[in-house]
Amino acid sequence: MYGVTESYQRLFLFYFLKVPFEIIPQFIYLLIGHKRAVYFQSNFNRIQLPTLFALVFFAIAELCYPQATDFLLISGIAVNFILWALSFQYLEVHNTAG
């Protein structure tokens, strides 16, 4: 019983604390042209972090200013298509997903 709880805690700590703090410096390395940006050698991985920031910005904008302006509509469509394209990468990487 305690082993299962400890396992979930480790997974939570790994995916919500360790992984973001490892990927963000790699994105900064990519922006400055450093060779240590190993994670972002794939083109799909280069799209993931900016898409996450765009999605968070879009969600906050929709919550604070929920009226449908052209900018929010176009950004919502763009984020939707990018997330759709990134879902194909998930299906290619994980054979059991599809």
Q: Are residues 27 and 52 in the same domain?
A: no
Do 26 and 57 lie in one domain? The reply is: no
pLDDT at 95 over 70: no
Domain that holds residue 74: 42-98
In the chain, how many domains are there? 2
Q: Are residues 64 and 87 located together in one domain of the fold?
A: yes
Tokens 């972090």 appear where?
A: 49
Cα–Cα distances (Å) from 50 to 12, 13, 79, in that order, read 23, 23, 10
Q: What is the pLDDT of residues 51-91, one digit of tens each?
A: 888 888 888 888 887 777 787 788 888 888 888 887 777 67
| pLDDT given at position 63 | 85
**Which token pair is 59?**
């969600």
H or E, element range at 37? none
Instruction: Say if residue 35 is in the same domain as residue 54.
Output: no
What's the pLDDT score for residue 31? 76
Amino acid at 95: N
Residue 5: per-residue pLDDT: 58
Strands (E), the chain: none
Distance separating alpha carbons of residues 71 and 66, to the nearest angstrom: 12
Indicate if 33 and 53 belong to the same structural domain: no
93 and 53 inside one domain? yes
* pLDDT above 50: residue 1: no
Confidence of residue 29 (pLDDT cuts 50, 70, 90): confident
